[in-house]
Chain A
Amino acid sequence: MTQDSTFHHGDAPNIASIIEMRDIEKHFGNIIALAGVSFDVRPGECHCLLGDNGAGKSTFIKTMSGVHKPSAGEIFFEGKHMDFDSPRDAMEAGIATVFQDLAMIPLMSVTRNFFMGREPTKGRGLFKRLDAAKANRVTVEEMRNMGINLRGPDQAVGTLSGGERQTVAIARAVYFGAKVLILDEPTSALGVRQTSNVLATIDRVRKQGIGVVFITHNVRHAMSVGDRFTVLNRGKTLGTAKRGDITPEQLQDLMAGGQELAQLEGSLGGTV
């Protein structure tokens, strides 16, 4: 299985991808981090990118979000060939990335974080100033839509829980018109309850027609929201599968590169 086409489904009409990455390669000096990765995201789907540590997930999403330039391969955004020179370029095109560090500043208020780098202004010239009233109103509203009640817009982000911070970061990306939302291991440091909140948030975002790229190494989290699953191993795509066509066990095997885990699983009595 190397392409979707290996699996014959005929469900869900094939909508055009928002972003398509073809045979992406990335070399750092003599290290080949990505050796031909193809990946695409369609509106309103959650496409999970799975892979073990060192599989190249981070390098790949950094390429997608404009941090790295691919050494070879092509990126098509809404059907057009695109080169992102900077994260800013990608952001402007509509690719929002929520990195693991969340790009949140604990000492600053939720509002200041929400609008960081994209502050609403009013007035002109020398009198161009922050539209604080609008910023506060939008923040409280957007957070409420995501199911979080803030004490006030001036509440410091440091007082929020990990899941809530994740939600602020997602809400921010959605508010600023993300077409593709890349989430880098959003559930890796969260407890059970917070994880389910974040998964629910992903579902909410997907329903708005945004394409979600969900990076994880937790098969269970991926299976609970994912529409398609792509496994990366040693810098290559092992294949993309649709929901219902693959079992968690198969996914787990693919991630670990097959045999080794089979052996390991035997010795651990099937608990992995």
Chain B
Amino acid sequence: MTQADAHTVDERLKAESFGSKLMKRPELGAIAGVVLVVLFFLVTADRSMFTMAGFMNFMTPAAQLGILAIGAALLMIGGEFDLSIGSMVAFAGLFFAVCVVNWGLPLIVAIPATFIFAALVGSINGTIVIRSGLPSFIVTLAFLFILRGLSLVGLKLATGGSTQLRGVREAVQDDWLAPVFSGDAFKGLFEALGRAGLVETFNNGAPKVPGVPVEIVWFIAMAIAATYVLLRTPVGNWIFASGGDANAASNSGVPVKKVKVSLFMLTACCAALVAIITVMDSGSTDARRGFQKEFEAIIAAVIGGCLLTGGYGSAIGAFFGAIIFGMVVIGLTYTDFDQDWFQVFLGAMLLIAVLFNNAIRKRVTGER
């Protein structure tokens, strides 16, 4: 082939439209979903859903789920599953509560200790999966029960027979680190906005929305960080490669095992973060904390465009997937519908998302 014709454009390639380029983004489905859900609630729900207070209302559960979903999404892109994250929330919550209540540790010690503890459990999960070569589905299913059971047993040991450990709020309320993990952020800003008349205020001048719940800040920060890592760092490339074809990746010099174990540790730490935030928020922990969250997180990740087979997906998608989730679970209370429609909706969303993703994958890989 000569230089001249090497530079000519292949005549068999059709110009690609903007639309079909957009179709190839993994997060498209989730964004379309958000638009649909917003339209649905604009028609059916009470106006108050789309005020600042209503927004914070549905974003709070969305954020709590979203933190888990982003971790789950990264792990799924890396080609593995973690069904134990829900139980991990309970287990990390127990560990954290014991640290602050029973042992009286300050948050500066208790929080890093909880993260290290969670990472350790995550690494056990990951190491078993990697060493045994078994599907992560089965290994983490075992841990779903093991961790839930340990949380129950541990709670009884720590409290002398009860399955609820109280007194967290009392133990941490004066801690200087508490505002980072509980309550509202940007209070000063909202007060200033209230004084300036830019946000709704109560009669005494305090803003109706006192600030942004910290979990929302964490959620957004994590979505940005995860997207940056995925798209703009070598580690991101390694995650895609490990999930796409572990063998090919390791032949190319990607440290697949390290990547996967680290991702298991990350999801466990996401669970720990949710545990710390929710335990400090409610002031107690119990054995049902995080119940079934593993499924919800995986559903949010799948709605966000993650393939169950790994190697494809996005953190932004999981972000929007979690928001859809929060909007529906809270939004239904603003409508006349029975709230239990929620589960029907969830299942339907999952099914549509999987069908949609499957079609997308075929387009991307040019499968016919």
Contact = CB atoms under 8 A, between A and B. Distances in A.
Interface of B: 1, 6-10, 13, 16, 228, 231-234, 236-238, 240-241, 244-245, 247-249, 251-254, 307, 311-312, 361, 364-367
A101 interface: yes
A144 B6 contact: yes
Interface residues of A, number: 32
B232 A129 contact: yes
Contacts of B231: 130
B366 A128 contact: no
Interface in A120-142: 121, 128-130, 132
Given A105-B249, A130-B233, A156-B366, A116 B13 contact: no
**Most B CB within 10 A of own CB, among A97, A104, A105, A115:** A105
Contact of A121 (B6, B234, B251, B366): B234
A158 B248 contact: no
A147 B244 contact: no
A156 B367 CA distance: 11
A151 B14 CA distance: 9
A147 B1 CA distance: 7
A163 B305 CA distance: 30
B364 A107 contact: yes
Given A107-B311, A130-B232, 18 more contacts: A88-B253, A101-B247, A103-B248, A105-B245, A106-B244, A106-B365, A107-B312, A107-B364, A112-B240, A112-B241, A116-B253, A117-B249, A117-B253, A129-B228, A129-B232, A130-B233, A130-B236, A159-B366
A214 to B, nearest CB: 19
13 contacts: A87-B253, A101-B247, A103-B249, A105-B248, A105-B311, A112-B237, A116-B254, A118-B253, A119-B237, A129-B228, A130-B233, A147-B1, A200-B1
A108 interface: yes
A21 interface: no
B234 A103 contact: no
A145 to B, nearest CB: 8
